[in-house]
Structure 1
Amino acid sequence: MDILVLVLGILLLLVLIIKFKFNTYVSLIITAVVVALGLGMAPAKIATSIQNGIGAQLGELALVFGFGAMLGRLVADAGGAYRIAHTLINAFGRRGLQLAVVLASFIIGIALFFEVGIVLLVPIVFAIAAEAGVPILTLGIPMAAALSVTHGFLPPHPAPTAISTALGASAGLVLAYGVIIAIPTVYIAGPLFSKLAHRFVPDAFERRGNLKALGPQKTFKLEETPSFGISVLTSLFPVILMAIATVYELVFHGGKLPKTPNGLDNVIAFIGSPSIAMLISLLFAMWAMGYARKLPAKAIMTTLEDAVKSIAMLLLVIGGGGAFKQVLIDGGVGDSVKNLFVGSGISPLILGWLIAVVLRIALGSATVAAMTASGLVLPLMQSAGIQPALMVLAIGAGSLAASHVNDAGFWMFREYFDLTIKQTLLTWTLLETIISVVGLGGVLLLSLVV
C-alpha cells in the first residue's frame, strides 16, 4: 500500500510540474501533504514533518550554497574563470585542446554552479574552436562532461551536498571518492565520447552555435584579470580545506575523529566542515577577487547580493525535496522499500542508483530526484551497512542519467550549440547517461576496497 501511495505521489508531482506548469517548490510541498495523508499520517503531524524536513535539509546547506554562489560569482565577475580557461588552453596547445578544456571546466565547475559555468565557458569554447579550426562540439562535449560530473559528484555542489546531509555522509569522503570516480568518468564521457559522437552524428559537429542565446556577455582584457595561480587557488579553496580535514582524519584517526578530540583535531574538524570551509573560502575570495584588486566594498557586496538572488529558488526546491523526503521516512515508505528489497540480493548501491534514474527521467530535476531517492534508500543503506559516501555518489550518478526534454540542462545545451532535438538527444542525453553508468561502475569498484 505504501509503495502504491509513493507511485501515485510521484505521478501527482509529474502532473503538477509538467501538465499544470506549477512551480517545483510548490509542487513538492503539495505532493508531500497529499502523500502524507495517503500514508495515514495524523494531519496534525504533517506540518511538523514538513517543517522538520525543510529545516534539517537547509540548516547547513543554506550556508554552503549561499557562500558557494558568492564565491563563484566573485571569481567569474573578476575574470578569474576567464584567466583559468585561457591560460590552460594556451599551455596545452592545439593538440591538447580537449584536455585543456576538461581541466579548465573541472576547476571552474567546482567553484560555479552548472548553469553559471556553462554560460561562462561557452563563449570561450566558441572562440577557441574558431581559432583552432575545430567543430565547437569537439570542445563543447568535454566541457559539458566536466561541468556535469562536478555538479553530480563533488561537494559543495547542491545535489552531492544535499544527499550527504540527508544520509549522514562525510562531505570530505564524498569529495575524495568523488574525485577518484570523476577523473575516468570525465575522460570517457568527454574526449572519448566526442570522437564516437563525431562518427554517428556528424551533422551536429557542423553546427556553428548560437551565442545570441547567451545574451550580453561581460568582456575581459587578460592582463586586467587576476593571475592564474590566485584564480585557481580561490576556486579550489573550499576543496583544499575539506581535503585537508579528510586526509588528516584518514591518516591519524582511521577516517573518524575520536570521541575526545585534542586541540589540533578540533581545529581540523572546524576548518573542514563544509559550512566553515565555505565561509573561510568566501572571505579569501572577497580579498583575492575584490579588495586586493582595489575594488570598492560596495561593488563586492553587490556581487554577493546578485549571487544570492540567483540561488533563491534552488534553495526552496532543495527544501521542498527535504520535506518530501521526510514525509516518506515518517510515513514508513523507506521501511517498505527496505522490506521489499531486503531479500532480493540487489546491491543497495544499484538500487539507490536505479531509483534516482527513474525519478530523474520522470521529474527532470537532478536535485529533486536525488533527494527523493535518498529518503527511500536510507533505511536500506543502514540495515546493509553501506558506506554512506558511496551511496551519495551512487544516487548522484543516477540523478544525472538520461537528461531529456523535461530538464533545463537539455534545452541550454541545445540552444547554445544550435542543435536539433534529435542531435541533442544523441549528444547531450547520451553524454549524461554515460556519466551516470560509468559513475555507478566506479562506485561499485570502490565498494570492493572501502
Structure 2
Amino acid sequence: MALIVLVLGIILLLFLIIKLKLNTFLSLVITSIAVGIGLGIPLTKIATSVQNGIGSQLGVLSIVFGFGAMLGRLVADAGGAYRIAHTLIDKFGKKRLQIAIVLASFIIGLALFFEVGIVLLVPIVFAIAMEAGVSILYLGIPMAAALSVTHGFLPPHPAPTAISAVLGANVGHVLLYGVIVAIPAVLVAGPLFVKVAQKLVPDAFNRKGNLSALGPQKKFKLEETPSFGISVLTSLFPVILMAITTIYDLTVNGGQTPKNPSMLDSIVAFIGTPSITMTISLLVAMYTMGWARRFKTSQIMKTLEEAVKSIAMLLLVIGGGGAFKQVLIDGGVGDAVMNLFKGVNISPLLLGWVIAVVLRIALGSATVASLTAAGLVLPLMQAAGVNPALMVLAIGAGSLAASHVNDAGFWMFREYFDLSIKETLATWTVLETLISVVGLICVLILSVFI
C-alpha cells in the first residue's frame, strides 16, 4: 500500500508541475501533504514532518549554497572566469581547443552553478570558435559536458552536497571519488561524442548561435582582470580545503575518526566541514576578487545580494525535496522499498541509479530526482553496507540522464546554440545520458575496490 501511495504521489507531482505548471516548491509541499495523508500519518504530525524535512535539509545546506553562489558571482563579476578561459585557450592552442574548453569549464563549473556557468561561458566559446574557424557546437558540447559533471558529481554543488547530507556521506570522499568518475565521463560525453554528433546531426554544426538570448553581456579587458593563478585559486579554494581534510584523514587517521582527536585533528576537521569551508572560501574571494581589485565594500555587498537572489528558488526547491523525503520516511515507504528488494539480487548502487533516472525523466529537475531517490534508497544502502559516497555518485549519475523538454538545461542549450528540438535531443540529451551511463559504470568499478 505504501508503494502504491508513493507512485500516486509521484504522478500527482508530475501533474502539478507539467500539466498545471505550478511552481516546483509549491508542488512538492502539496504532494508531501497528500502523500502523508495517503500513508496514514496522523494529520497533526504531517505538518511537523514537512517542517522537519525542510528544516533539516536547508539547515545543513543554506550556508553552503548561499556562500557558494556568492563566491561564484564574485569570480564572474571580477573577470576571473573570463581570465581562466582565455589563458587556458591561449596555452593549449587551436589544435587542442576542446581540451582547453573542458579544463576551463571544469574549473569554472566547480565555482559556479550550472546555469550561471553556461551563461558565462557561451559568449567566450562563441568568440573563440569564430576566431579559430570551428563550429560553436564543436566547443559547446565539451563545455556542456564539463559543466554537467561538476553539477552532478562534485560538492559544493547542490545535488551532490544535498544527497551527501541525506545519506550521511563524507563530502571529501564524494569529491575525491567524484573527480575519478568525472574525468572519463566528460571525455566520453565531450570530445569523443562530438565526433559521433557531427555524423548524427551535421546541420547542427553549421549554426551560428544566438547570443541575444543571453541578454546584455559584461565586457572585460583581459589586462584589467585578476591574474590566472589568483582566479583559479579562488575558484578552487573550497575544493582545496575539502581535499586537504580528506587526504589528512586518509593518511594520518586511516580514514577513521579518531576517538581522542589532537588539536591538529580538530582544526583539520573544522576547516573541512562544508559550511566552514565555504565561509573561509567566501572571505578569501571577497579579498582576492573584491578588496584587492579596489572594489568598495558596498559594491562587493551588492554582488553578494544579487547572487542570493539567483538561488532563492533553488533553495526552496531543495527544501521541498527534503519535505517529500521526510514524509516518505515517516510514512514507512523506505521500509517498504527495502522489503520489496530484500530478496532481489540487484546492487543498491544500480537501484539508486535506476530510481534517479526514472524520476529525472519524469520530473526534469536533477536536484529533486536525486533527493527523492536518496530518501528511498537510504534504508537499502544501510542494510547492504554500501559506501555512502559511492551511492551519492550513483544517484548523481542517474539524476543527469535523459534531459529533455521538462528540463531548463535542455531549453538553454537549444536557445543558445540555435538548434531544433530534434538536434537538441541528438546532442544535449545524448551527452547527458552518456555522462549518466559512464558515471554509473565508473561507480560500479570503484565499488569493487572501495
TM-score by length of 2: 1.00
- Tell whether 2:397 aligns with 1:397: yes
Q: Which residue matches 1:274? A: 274
The alpha carbon displacement at 1:255 in A equals 1.2
Q: How does 1:1-16 map to 2 (within 5 A)?
A: 1-16=1-16
CA distance in 1: counterparts of 2:305 and 2:97, whole angstroms: 35
For residue 256 of structure 1, what is the aligned residue in structure 2?
Answer: 256
Using the aligned pairs only, state the percent identity.
Answer: 76
Residue-by-residue CA offset, 1:66-95 (whole Å, 9 max, x unaligned): 000000000000000000000000000000
Q: CA deviation digits over 1:359-403, x for unaligned, max 9?
A: 000000000000000010000000000000000000000000000
CA RMSD of aligned residues (A): 0.5
Q: How far apart in 2 are the matches of 1:383 and 1:15?
A: 33
Deviation at 1:313, TM superposition (A): 0.4
**Which residue is equivalent to 2:138?**
138
- Cα deviation, 1:290-316, whole Å, max 9, x if unaligned, reads 001111000000000000010000000
1:170-221 deviation line (CA, Å, top 9, x unaligned): 1100000000110111101100001111111111111110000000000000
One-letter identity of the residue aligned with 1:43: L
Cα contact 1:70–1:303 (8 A) shared by 2: yes
Distance between the aligned counterparts of 2:256 and 2:397, measured in 1?
25
The residue aligned with 1:149 is: 149
In the alignment, is residue 407 of structure 1 matched against residue 403 of structure 2? no
8 Å contact kept, 1:234–1:284? yes
Residue number in structure 1 paired with 2:423: 423
Give how far 1:256 is off.
2.3
8 Å Cα contact 1:286/1:300 also seen in 2: yes
Partner of 2:228: 228
Contact 1:92–1:100 (Cα < 8 Å) also in 2? yes
Map 1:279-358; keep pairs closer than 5 Å: 279-358=279-358
* Structure 1 letter corresponding to 2:219: T
AA in 2 matched with 1:207: R
Aligned partners of 1:349 and 1:391 also within 8 Å: yes
- Give the match's secondary structure for 1:67: helix
Cα separation, 1, equivalents of 2:86 and 2:123:
12
Shift of 1:342: 1.5
Partner of 1:93: 93
In 1, the alpha carbon distance for the partners of 2:260 and 2:322 equals: 32
Contact 1:129/1:135 (<8 A) preserved? yes
User: What is the distance in 1 between the residues matched to 2:22 and 2:293?
Assistant: 44
Alignment partner of 1:77 is 2:56: no
Q: Which moved more, 1:429-438 or 1:48-57?
A: 48-57
Cα distance between partner residues in 2 of 1:132 and 1:386: 48
2:431 maps to a residue whose letter is L
Matched, 1:55 2:33: no
In the aligned structure 2, how far is the partner of 1:60 from the partner of 1:391? 19
- The one-letter code of the counterpart of 2:95 is R
How many residues are aligned here? 450
1:86 and 1:250 map into 2 onto residues whose CA distance is 36
SS in 1 for 2:449: coil
CA distance in 2, matches of 1:34, 1:314: 22
Distance 1:219 1:339 in 2: 58
Q: What is the alpha-carbon distance in structure 2 between the residues aligned to residue 260 and residue 348 of structure 1?
A: 34
Tell me the equivalent position of 2:180.
Answer: 180
Partner of 2:192: 192
Report the AA paired with residue 392 of structure 2.
Answer: V
Q: Which residue of 1 aligns with 2:67?
A: 67
The 4+ residue runs of structure 1 with deviation greater than 6 A are none
Distance in 1 of aligned mates of 2:401 and 2:256: 32
Partner of 1:39: 39
Q: Does residue 432 of the first structure (1) align with residue 432 of the second (2)?
A: yes
Q: Confirm or deny: 8 A CA contact 1:367 1:399 kept in the other structure.
A: yes
1:248: Cα distance to partner? 0.5
Q: Which amino acid letter does the alignment assign opposite residue 300 of structure 2?
A: I
Q: CA deviation at 1:139?
A: 0.2
Deviation at 1:259, TM superposition (A): 2.4
Q: What's the CA shift string for 1:206-238, capped at 9, x where partnerless?
A: 111000000000000000000000000000000
CA distance in 2, matches of 1:51, 1:378: 20
Residue 449 (1) aligns with residue 439 (2): no
Partner amino acid, structure 2, of 1:17: I
In 2, Cα distance between the equivalents of 1:401 and 1:260?
Answer: 44
Deviation, 1:258, is 1.1
Separation (CA, whole Å) in 2 of partners of 1:29 and 1:175:
31
Instruction: Work out the CA distance in 1 between the residues paired with 2:60 and 2:243.
Output: 19
Show the 5 A alignment for 1:109-124.
109-124=109-124
| SS of structure 2 residue aligned to 1:391 | helix
1:26-64 per-residue CA deviation (whole Å, 9 max, x = no partner) reads 000000000011001111111111111111111120000
1:245-287 per-position Cα deviation (integer Å, ceiling 9, x unaligned): 0010011112122122110000000001111000000000000
1:154-173 mapped onto 2 (5 Å cutoff): 154-173=154-173
Which amino acid in structure 2 is aligned with residue 437 of structure 1?
V
Q: Which residue number corresponds to residue 216 of structure 1?
A: 216
Q: d(CA) in 2 for partners of 1:293 and 1:356?
A: 43
Question: Is this contact kept in 2: 1:74–1:303, CA < 8 A?
Answer: yes
SS in 2 for 1:448: helix
SS at match of 2:247: helix
Give the distance between the partners of 1:65 and 1:356, measured in 2 at CA. Answer: 22
Q: Is the 8 A contact 1:168 1:388 kept in 2?
A: yes
2:376 maps to a residue whose letter is: L
Deviations 1:113-170 (A, max 9, x none): 0000000000000000000000000000000000000000000000000000000001
Measured in 1, the distance between the counterparts of 2:83 and 2:195 equals 28
Asked if the contact 1:405–1:411 (Cα under 8 Å) also holds between the matched residues in 2, the reply is yes
User: What do residues 5-30 of structure 1 show as CA deviations (whole Å, max 9, x unaligned)?
Assistant: 00000000000001111100000000
Q: Give yes or no for contact 1:257–1:265 (8 Å, CA) kept in 2.
A: no
